[in-house]
Amino acid sequence: MTALQKSAVCVLGTGLIGGSVLRAAATAGYRSWGYNRSAAGAEAARADGFDVGTDIRPVLRRAADEDAVVVVGVPMPALDAVLSDIGLLAPECVLTDVISVKTPVLATVRKHELGARFVGGHPMAGTAESGWAASGADLFTGAVWALGVDPGTHAESWERVARLALDSGAVIAPVIAEEHDRAVARISHLPHVLAEALAVAGAAGGDLALGLAAGSFRDGTRVAGTAPELVRAICEPNATALLDALDDALRLLGDARDTLATDGTLGALIDAGYSERNRYDTLERWDITDIRPGDHDWHERLRAAGQRGGVIRQLN
């Protein structure tokens, strides 16, 4: 690895995910610094020894000067304003993000004419907590980091962002924006919505019911403990894909409800659920080793490999 490959990282928004990127990058030996809108968040990061300011302009000027990878870690509603600043102050930098939905991010990036060096990202990690205080350098250890291989993605930019993800301890799942959004609607956004519904339907049983609640309720409602504004910022920008997933869940639950009402059984759902949970438990991620960014058709080949569950564990 040359000095150029592991050079500089500038993180905009040092909450749980952005803050963890900043920590992981520093731990991996990158020169790194950041920006956070709230003074309290920036101060907390500085107290831990990180160079995080509340004025985005000098932060981005340094990114341009040092040819940093710029990592956008702000929530979706704040993206537009941050991209305006990047367009003015660091338009040539390699740009990535850690926002939980990819199609709206890609559209906004293109609107700002920043698509040439952009690589969409989404590390699949988190906790119910948020903010710098919840961040950690090891949040991505063993996690999967979705990385965009949308048509036109620049190979060298992709490699630089991929290296940052790998150096943070993650493995990379290559994916295009639309397929990413459909997938996370099912395995991240739908779980949030079901957890909220379970919390409400359970609590309708009163203190007796909540007092009897054990592991199944505790685990099933865990992510309902996430701050509501964060849940909305994660789920609502992915409305189209989430609607499909919600309709599937409503159909499955409605069918089980109907067989329970008519013949006292939960029908096919229980066997199907067991079988699919088992499929998840036994899923083995296989390594993509034969496709290099820049190769002929590399976007499409990485996309196809990602669809089949392949991940990248190292760059050649």
Comparing C-alpha atoms, which of 185, 172, 54 is closest to residue 120?
172
Q: Does 5 bind a copy of itself (CB under 8 A)?
A: no
| 77 contacts a copy of itself (rule: CB under 8 A) | no
Is residue 146 near a copy of itself by the rule CB under 8 A?
yes
Please identify, among the stretches 11-19, 44-52, 84-92, 280-288, the one whose residues bind a copy of itself according to the rule CB under 8 A. Answer: 280-288
Say whether residue 215 binds a copy of itself (CB under 8 A): yes
Restricted to residues 221-260, the positions that interact with a copy of itself (CB under 8 A) are 221-228, 231-232, 235-236, 239, 242-243, 245-250, 252-254, 256-257, 260
Which C-beta is closer to a copy of itself: that of 39 or that of 201?
Answer: 201
**Minimum separation from the CB atom of position 201 to a copy of itself (A):** 4
- Shortest Å, Cβ 246 to a copy of itself: 5
Which residue of 66, 67, 138, 196 would you call a contact of a copy of itself, by CB under 8 A? 196
Stretch that binds a copy of itself, among 54-62, 107-115, 161-169, 200-208 (CB under 8 A): 200-208
Q: Which of 65, 80, 276, 297 binds a copy of itself (CB under 8 A)?
A: 276
Q: Which of 29, 309, 313, 314 binds a copy of itself (CB under 8 A)?
A: 309
**126 binds a copy of itself per the rule CB under 8 A:** yes
Q: Torsion over CA of 10, 13, 16 and 22, rounded to 10 degrees?
A: 10
CA distance 215 to 217: 6
Give the Å distances, CA to CA, from 6 to 17, 27, 162, 194, 220: 20, 12, 11, 41, 41
Interior/surface letters 212-222, b for 16+ CB within 10 angstroms, e for the rest: eeeeebeebbe
By CB under 8 A, the residues from 166 to 195 that bind a copy of itself are 173, 175, 179-180, 182-188, 190-195
Q: Which of 126, 114, 142, 171 is nearest to 18 (CA)?
A: 126
SS3 content of the chain, % helix, strand, coil (to 5): 55, 10, 30
Subset of residues 41 to 60 that bind a copy of itself, contact rule: CB under 8 A: none
Q: 2, 4, 206, 316: which one contacts a copy of itself (CB under 8 A)? A: 206
121-123 vs 144-148, strand pairing mode: antiparallel
Q: Which stretch binds a copy of itself (CB under 8 A): 2-10, 49-57, 118-126, 152-160?
A: 118-126
Distance CA 79, CA 33 (A): 19
**Any contact of residue 301 with a copy of itself (CB under 8 A)?**
no
CB of 119 to a copy of itself, least distance (A): 17
Per CB under 8 A, 217 contacts a copy of itself: yes
Residue 129 to residue 17: CA distance in whole angstroms: 11
Contact 259/265 with Cβ under 8 angstroms? yes
Name which of 41 and 174 has its Cβ closer to a copy of itself: 174
**In sequence order, which ranges of the chain are alpha helices (DSSP H)?**
16-27, 39-47, 56-66, 79-89, 103-111, 155-167, 177-184, 190-203, 206-212, 215-220, 228-235, 239-263, 269-282, 298-307
Q: How far is the CB of 277 from a copy of itself (least distance, A)?
A: 4
